[in-house]
Structure 1
Amino acid sequence: MSLRNQIRFILILTVSSFSFLFHARAAEPDSYPVKYQTVQIEGLDIFYREAGPADAPTLLLLHGFPTSSHMFRNLIPALSDKYHVIAPDYPGFGYSSAPSVDKFDYTFDNLAHIMEKFTRQLQLNKYSLYLMDYGAPIGFRLAVQHPERIETLIIQNGNAYEEGLDNPFWEPVKVYWKERTSTHGNQLRSLLTLDATKWQYTTGVRDVKAISPDTWGHVQPLLDRPGNQEIQLALFYSYGSNPPLYPQWQEYLRKYQPPTLIVWGKNDPIFPAAGAYPYKQDLNKLEFHLLDTGHFALEEEGPTIARLMRKFLTQYTNTAH
């Protein structure tokens, strides 16, 4: 090869390499760091995690029991390149205020009231809802109150049908709903122990070694705070206010037909797959996935759920980013 051809070859290779690196870097999603913030609602500090461009479609992530926005710690950055992601802690959970039961009414009506004021204060006028466990009764109250605000639903082990409560886990809780005595309440305190918290995270998963102890390491010290057991018992009792509202929530689904993605851990002993199937009766725009994992499906199936959410949200939201 002549010297001239060698130089030409080197130049072409250099330009090609630069072009490849440029386009590869351009294809990488923008990085939006998670911000940890607090806002005051009716004298309470409500902590929340937020990431993503403010003008992108908004995702409001509502956590379950006994965790907090911590359960979304990996999902938020996985979606924040194209979505404005917000995950609050309810009063009594995570890093939000936890006033004693004699200073705050721990009911699902009141938690939903605080979350509705939270959405107004942050000017969330249109959003998709991620509903998990306790997030379902809170989120469905928001949806019924303001159906015009709901763009889509992502439901992960979040119940809205009687079929989802027909299992042994709920038997002692239902006794407490019928007769709120200290005896029946004390029988539920075992659900607030470290063993019970680990059980929630590990039961039904494929590989226990894949579940980080950072989960119960975050949750249990918060559950063990003085007065927090009384908070949780109040909410166990208040959960009995949810089944009577199921017909109202189901009517919302039938009337407004929000596009819905179900990503449900099918081995969950608390909200088993029996609670997922009835959504098919009421929703026309439904994408349905049963995942081979347990209650906290994000711990083992987080990348899968993020991928399914991105595909689903691209179809039903305006993702210009």
Structure 2
Amino acid sequence: MKLNLTNIFMLFILIIGLIISISSNNWMMMWSGLEISLMSFIPLMSGGMMGSESSMKYFIVQSISSSMLIISIFMMISMNLLYMYMLLSSLVLKMGVAPFHNWVLSIINSLDYKLMFFLLSVMKIAPLVMLSFLNSYNDLFVMLSLIIGSFFSLNQNSVRKLLAYSSIYNMSYIISCINMNSIWILYLFLYSFILILLIILISKLKINYINQFMINEQSLIMKLNLSISILSLGGLPPLLGFFPKFIILQMMVKKKMFLLMILMIMTSLLVMFFYMRMMFLMFLNYSIMQKFLTKISMKLSVWSLFFNLNIFPFIISLKYYV
């Protein structure tokens, strides 16, 4: 995505639609903001040979979910009790959460990394705000997203699909605490921050598949940045990505939701397995760098290492002073 005047204008309209959705106090204005964001995001996707196909798939799926959303709003006005199920299904379909996740995997290979970041984080803010207004039972979607996001990523070779499955997996944590605004907003912010750090590094190295980690002989600083960002996205303590998962596990203990907490812990081990596999391919197994030179070539410019290692202890220490 090149930042010419047309794309900048479309991004501006996308942000305007997002602000309309999250600041409205009625469902019709929220739906209108979603449609503004949808119609401004599609032109950004339509560049290139595969972009027109992916933009058409995205338009079809989002139009179906928007139709379900507006029908459920009309059913809500007429006091039909089935509106909750249709409204919940339309929002889950719009976010690409399991079991309605296949459309994300089919279009993500044709997107560049900037648009992929918008699809996996920014475009999910408005549906999450609408979902937080519903006092509904979401544990089925949480369990399906945990299982699909962890198991189905084990046999993937594409980095884009791995990030898509990681988004599905992290959305399960967000939906599990969707009725607590302070927690899910913090989780989404930290996830988006770690994701954009990782996407900047991957796009700079032009990595599309896991096998490219074996042949990318970059500097040690770049490898450290990339490996720490990967492990932080997986939630390895004491990195920054572990902090929101730690808060949600504490919440699960207070609510006595032990079954869901055990499923989160078990699936997080699978997620850490394929993140560790990516790091080993890049940093340990196929590197021609002599390992005794590691300490000699260290520099203080490891900005990703700094963020991921220092912010989590700082936030934890604030609990004892506030």
The structure having more radius of gyration, on CA atoms, is 1
More strand by share: 1
Which protein, 1 or 2, shows the higher relative CO under an 8 Å CA cutoff with sep ≥ 6? 1
Q: Is TM > 0.5 for Structure 1 vs Structure 2? A: no
More helix by share: 2
Query: Structure 2 length normalisation: TM-score?
Result: 0.28
